Amino acid sequence: MKKIMNRAEDYTDEMLRGIYEVHRGRVKCAADDLRCYCTAEKVEGKVAIVTGGGNGHLPLFLGYVGKGMLDGCGVGDVFQSPSGKQIYYIAKEVEAGAGVLFLYGNYTGDIMVFDDASERLEMDDIETMSIVGADDVNSSDDVNVRRGVAGIFFMYKAAGARAMSMGNLQEVYDAAQKAKENTRTVGFALTPCIIPEKGKPNFELQENEMAMGMGIHGEPGVWNGPIMTSSEIAKESCDTILKDMEVKEGEEVAILINGLGSTPLDEQYILANDVICYLNSRGIRVYRSWVGEFATSMEMAGASITVCKVDEELKAWFEMPVDTPFYKQN
Amino acid sequence: MKKIMNRAEDYTDEMLRGIYEVHRGRVKCAADDLRCYCTAEKVEGKVAIVTGGGNGHLPLFLGYVGKGMLDGCGVGDVFQSPSGKQIYYIAKEVEAGAGVLFLYGNYTGDIMVFDDASERLEMDDIETMSIVGADDVNSSDDVNVRRGVAGIFFMYKAAGARAMSMGNLQEVYDAAQKAKENTRTVGFALTPCIIPEKGKPNFELQENEMAMGMGIHGEPGVWNGPIMTSSEIAKESCDTILKDMEVKEGEEVAILINGLGSTPLDEQYILANDVICYLNSRGIRVYRSWVGEFATSMEMAGASITVCKVDEELKAWFEMPVDTPFYKQN
C-alpha cells in the first residue's frame, strides 16, 4: 500500500484536520467532532442542506459544503457511514429557520443514519425532508435500489441554487427531485483502490481488464473485459443512459465527466470529447460540460459519465455561482 | 497500460479537442494549430504572459491560461517541448501592445524553443522578456540548473496579478522574479507513470519504496527508500527547503501541496496538515495554503511541497482573483 499517511486508523481524522486548517474561517465542526463538518457561512432563513457518507470520495461529499451548495456533511471512516447522532448535530448547527433537506447517496447504511437523524430533529421541532441520489443505471433496473454516484452533483447544484434563492423546503426538495429525475450515470473502473485500514485492494482486475458498471466502493459491475477505447466506452455508456432515459433529438443535456482518482485530466478530456461527439451524432446538444474529479474512489483508475437532461429552469440553477473551498463556479 | 484513450499518437490532440470543446468561448487556438493554446479573453494594453511545455502535467501548463494569470501556452507531446514556431504564433495572437513575458520551466528543450520564438518576435518588433521556474531544490545545488516544478504556480500568480494591474513588461518580469527568489519545492514519487506512446512505466520503484526528489518526468531524485510517514516526509522536505532558503521565526509563507496524479486529495490534506504543523513548530506562520493537483505527472503517485516566503506585496498579488477554465480564485 503506497499512501502518504501516518497511522491508517487516523487517516480520516488527519485529513479533516488538514481541511479545517487550510480552510479556516470557511468551515467548522459542530459538537467538537471533526466528523461533523459545517459551513461557517450560515445564511439565516435559508433551507439548510445536509449530506454525508463515507470518506474516500473527495471532493464528494464535504467538498460541496459552501456558498451556493450545501451547509453540512457527516463524514464516516473510509467507505463507512457517519452516525445518526453526527448528522443530528450538524443539522442543529446549520439549521437556519427554514428546515433541513437531507440529500445523500442511496446506500442502506446512510439511509438508516439520516432516518435516525430525522427522528431526533422531529423531537426538536425541526422539519426535515430526505431525498437520495440514485443515478447509477448499471447498478439496478429498479430505480429505487440504484446506487448514488457522481450524478448527485447535479442534485446538489439544483437544490443549492434553489435554497440560495430562498425557496422553501418543499421547493428545494422539488429542485433536487427534478435534477434526480433527469440524471443518469454510467461508471467503469480500470484499477481497484486500497482502504487504508485494510491495506489491500478492494477487488482484482487483470492487466488490460476493465469493469463496466462498477460502483465507487468496488461493487461489481455488468461486465469485466478488455479495456475498450475511449470512443467505444463513450458509445456504450451513452447508449446505456439513453436507453434508460429518453433524450429526443434537439433536446439539451449537461454532462459530467468524472475521474475516479488516478485517471489524469488528459484522459477525462479525451473521454469528454468522445461523449460530446457521440451525443451530437444522435442530435443531442451538450449545453455545458463539467470535467474533473467530482466523486472519486481514492486512487481507483476509471471514470464515470453523467448525463442530465435540462430545461431552462435546470440550466438557470446550474448557472448560479458556487464558492466552496473545493468547488468554484462564477 | 490502463488508459482511457483511443490511439496513443492522438492522445494530446484528442485531449486538446476535448478542452476546446468543453471551454469554448473561453479559449481558442492560434494559427489553426491545436497546440497553440490562447485565451479568448484578450485584454488590450496588458503585458501578455506565455508559457509552454510538454503535455502530461495538467492543469500545468495550459490550465493557467485565463483571467488573472496567463494568456497563451504552447503544448508539446507528452513530456516533449512544443516548437519555437508554435510559441511565436501564440505570442503574435495574444500580444496586446505591451510586450510578452515568457515564463516556463527550466528545461533545456524549452529554453531553446522560447529563445527561438523571442528571435522571431524581435523581427516583428515585439518586445519579449524570459524567465524560467527553477524551484526544485533537490534537482541541483546550482540554482541556474534547477528544474522547474509546481512552484511555477506562484510565479504565474504574481506575474499574472501584476499584468492584470497593468504593470509594464519590466514590472511583470520583476513580479515573477520576486516570486521565484522566494519559492522552493521538494517533490517525491511513490509510483511511476506511463507515457502513452511508449506504453511502459518511465522508471521502477519497488513495493513500499518511494523516490525523494524525483522530477515530474521521472528524473532521479536524491534517494530511493522505504515509504516514510507523512509527518516524516513533511519534516525532511521542509528541512531541505529551509536549509536552502532561510525563513526566520515569525516570517510568513504560502504553501502549495501538489498531488502528482493518483495521490488522492485525502492524502494531500494529511500531508498539508503535517507540513503546517512542522512549519508552525519552527515559528513560521502559514498565511495561506493551496492543496490539490497543480502540476501532475499523469498517473504518478506522490506529491510536492512548495514553500513561498511572502511579504505584503506578494500576498496582495496572491490574493487577486483568477478565473481560468481550470483554476478559480475569488
At B115-136, the pLDDT tens digits run 999 999 999 999 999 999 999 9
Average pLDDT over residues A111-117: 98
Give the model's pLDDT for residue B202.
85
Mean predicted lDDT score pLDDT of chain B:
97
Torsion angle of the four alpha carbons B18, B24, B28, B31, in this order, in degrees rounded to the nearest 10: 70
* A294, A306 Cβ separation under 8 angstroms: no
**pLDDT over threshold 90, residue B223:** yes
Give the model's pLDDT for residue B256.
98
Closest chain A residue to the Cα of B194, Cα to Cα: A264
User: Would you say how long chain A is, in residues?
Assistant: 330
A217 is catalytic: yes
Three-class secondary structure of residue A71 per DSSP: coil
Q: Which of B262, B266, B329 sits opposite A262 (nearest CB)?
A: B262
Give the model's pLDDT for residue B129.
98
**pLDDT over threshold 90, residue A144:** yes
**pLDDT over threshold 90, residue A274:** yes
Give the model's pLDDT for residue A202.
85
A23 is catalytic: no
Cβ-based contacts of B11 with chain A (< 8 Å): 266, 270
Torsion angle of the four alpha carbons B61, B67, B71, B77, in this order, in degrees rounded to the nearest 10: 20
Cβ-based contacts of B273 with chain A (< 8 Å): 14-15, 17-18, 21
Give the model's pLDDT for residue B130.
98
Tens digits of residue pLDDT in A190-217: 999 999 999 999 889 999 999 999 999 9
Tens digits of residue pLDDT in B71-82: 999 999 999 999
Question: How far off is chain B from A128, nearest CA to CA, in Å?
Answer: 30
Return the residue in B2, B4, B15, B291 with the most chain A beta carbons within 10 A, the one to mutate for interface testing. B4
Cβ-based contacts of B41 with chain A (< 8 Å): none
Average pLDDT over residues A278-303: 98
Average pLDDT over residues B35-62: 98
Give the model's pLDDT for residue A3.
97
* B107, B147 Cβ separation under 8 angstroms: yes
ipTM > 0.95 for the complex: yes
Q: Does B266 sit within 8 Å of A298, measured CB to CB? A: yes
Q: Which of B5, B12, B190 sits opposite A230 (nearest CB)?
A: B5
Which residues, at least 6 apart from A325, have a Cβ–Cβ distance to it below 8 Å? A19, A22, A23, A26, A27, A63, A66
Give the model's pLDDT for residue A227.
97
Mean predicted lDDT score pLDDT of chain A:
97
Average pLDDT over residues B280-303: 98
Give the model's pLDDT for residue A75.
98
Three-class secondary structure of residue B55 per DSSP: strand
**pLDDT over threshold 90, residue B150:** yes
